[in-house]
């Protein structure tokens, strides 16, 4: 088994267009033997947001800390709190916005590239 | 998208042999359109434990609240704390034990049966 605490890893700045004050840590992925899905830990600073975007793979998100909202395809905001779980289906537009004065922390899990390739067949 | 808070769902008692004071809520799964992996939320009472067992699918676990430990194949205990992530590879013996005086809360994600069937081919 692999045991890790998220603070054991250095956070990487998410530099893609539209990301504002977002960092990521990959907690579990292929090099650990995780063939099917990856667990990533995100932090978003006050006033920050993940990019409003879409992609062909799904997200499974769980809010750990902070006040936040999820923006949907109609650009409508849905309030979230610690303990909220969100499923974003493939190809759906979305982003996660920090609405508070502390760091937003959440998990976001995605299928591995191998699973994505299999699904595309 | 699907938005839910874990407290929106009723907890189901985990009745399998060896489980002690364990409940589960399935937050995201196939009926939501989640084809590849399921997000489940577990609670374990003080003195409780998940069953010491093994199975052909992996676990990706994240500790939300509580003092706990993970028991490995050598029956060795590894202390965990909120923010710990654990990868249990397929077929590895394991359990999660509440070591504190409050409820242990954690997420445990598993591949869907469709993905498991594909992997078995």
Give A71-91 pLDDT, tens digit per residue.
Answer: 999 999 999 999 999 999 999
Share of chain B above pLDDT 90, in %: 98
**If pLDDT is split at 50, 70 and 90, which confidence band does A121 have?**
low
Measured between beta carbons, which residues in chain B are less than 8 angstroms from residue A33?
58, 87, 89
What is the pLDDT of chain A when averaged over all its residues? 97
Determine whether the interchain pair A85/B27 forms a contact, defined as Cβ–Cβ distance below 8 Å.
yes
In B, which residues are within 8 Å of A4 by CB distance? 84-86
CB contact under 8 A, B85 and A118: no
* pLDDT number for residue B72: 97
| B121 — pLDDT class (breaks 50, 70, 90) | low
- pTM over cut 0.80: yes
Residue B102 predicted with pLDDT over 90: yes
Chain B contact present for A26, CB below 8 A: no
- Dihedral over alpha carbons A107, A108, A113, A117 (to 10 degrees): 140
Q: What is the pLDDT of residue B8?
A: 98
Q: What is the pLDDT of residues A99-111, one digit of tens each?
A: 999 999 999 999 9
- pLDDT tens per residue, range B41-66: 999 999 999 999 999 999 999 999 99
Asked if residues B92 and A1 have their Cβ atoms less than 8 Å apart, the reply is yes
pLDDT above 90 for B120: no
Q: Report whether pLDDT(A120) > 90.
A: no
pLDDT for B63-93, tens place per residue? 999 999 999 999 999 999 999 999 999 999 9
Q: Read off the pLDDT of each residue in A47-74 and give the average, rounded to a whole number.
A: 97
Task: Check CB contact of B39 with chain A, cutoff 8 Å.
Answer: yes
Q: Is the predicted ipTM greater than 0.95, yes or no?
A: yes
When pLDDT is averaged across residues A32-50 and rounded to a whole number, the result is 98
Q: Return the HEC string of chain B.
A: CEEEEHHHCCCEECCCCCCEEEEEEEEECHHHCCCCEEEEEEEEEEEEECCCECCCCCEEEEEEECCEEEECCCCCEEEECCCEEEEECCCCCEEEEECCCCCEEEEEEEECHHHHHHHHC
């Amino acid at each position: 088994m692999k045991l890790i605490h998220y603070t054991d890893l250095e956070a990487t700045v998410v530099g893609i267009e539209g990301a504002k004050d977002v960092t990521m840590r990959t907690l579990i992925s292929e090099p650990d033997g995780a063939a099917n899905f990856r667990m990533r830990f995100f932090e978003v600073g006050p006033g920050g947001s993940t990019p409003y975007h879409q992609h062909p793979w799904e997200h499974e998100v769980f809010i750990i800390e902070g006040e936040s909202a999820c923006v949907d395809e109609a650009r409508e905001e849905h309030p979230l709190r610690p303990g909220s779980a969100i499923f974003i289906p493939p190809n759906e537009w979305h982003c996660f916005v920090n609405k508070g004065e502390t760091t937003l922390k959440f998990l976001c899990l995605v299928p591995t590239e191998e699973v994505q390739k299999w699904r595309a067949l």
